[in-house]
Amino acid sequence: MDDHVTRDKWDKAAEYFDLMNGLGPEKRWGPHKQNLFSKMKGNVLFLAMGTGLDIQFFPPDQHITGIDISPKMLEQAQLKAKAYPGTITLREMDVHEMDFADNSFDQVFTSCTFCSVPDPVNGLRAIHRVLKPGGELFMFEHTGSRYFPFNLMLNMMTFLTKNFGPQMNRNTDANVLAAGFQVTEIQLIYLDVVKMISAYKPA
């Protein structure tokens, strides 16, 4: 694994991640995430499992492979994964260097992931590779905005946050298309910043 910078950044964040995000953001976004994750079926890959905060919103009896670049994050996810009424296999892995075979998964889910992947288009291309033809990509993400003054604020926030956390001004909608997916739906949750993106890999 080469991306020590990203791994170290999230290893450091692991200690206080649940404290910061476990209450407000999860309570606020929980109903939307639950709705998105209810679409889980077949062989599912969950990208950037983090400390496993999203596991509470997974439908029961699924077989899910969860990956994350940070071993410290995955340590915290272990207990939540064990309590899940289904199967969750956790693996330490960088999205850019996934060792899964081509066309392995029926679905890939992400949750606030592509604000932090260093090379988002190549990360999405890696997802495209491991998805079966016709396989689905479901993303819950925050992105940049095209509306003033929100775009200005997000650019300024990114200047401060990129060294210890996420980038706030990514154009994830365009990145999904650039990686070769067909977008079926973009549902806005807050402004054009927090959104759910549904896409598929053309057969």
Partner 1 sequence: MDKRFYFIAGDFLSNLLIALFAGLACSALISTKWPMLLAMLVSMILGMLIAMIFSVAVFLRYFGAMEIMLPGMISGMLAAMVVGMMASMQNVSSITAMLIGCLIGAIVCVLCWTANSIITKKAA
Q: Which residues bind partner 1 (CB under 8 A)?
A: 19-21, 23-25, 27-29, 142, 147, 149-150, 153-154, 156-157, 160, 186-194
Nearer of residues 40 and 154 to partner 1, judged by Cβ: 154
Minimum distance from CB of 75 to partner 1 (Å)? 22
Minimum distance from CB of 1 to partner 1 (Å)? 28
Burial class (CB in 10 A: 0-12, 13-18, 19+), 181: buried
Nearer of residues 195 and 201 to partner 1, judged by Cβ: 195
Minimum distance from CB of 50 to partner 1 (Å)? 14
Minimum distance from CB of 78 to partner 1 (Å)? 23
Nearer of residues 94 and 141 to partner 1, judged by Cβ: 141
Helix runs in 117-191, H state only: 120-130, 150-161, 172-178
DSSP string, 1-24: ---HHHHHHHHHHHHHHHHHHTTH
Nearer of residues 107 and 143 to partner 1, judged by Cβ: 143
> Measuring CA to CA, which residue among 162, 155, 166 is closest to residue 112?
166
Give the C-alpha separation, 51 to 73, whole Å: 5
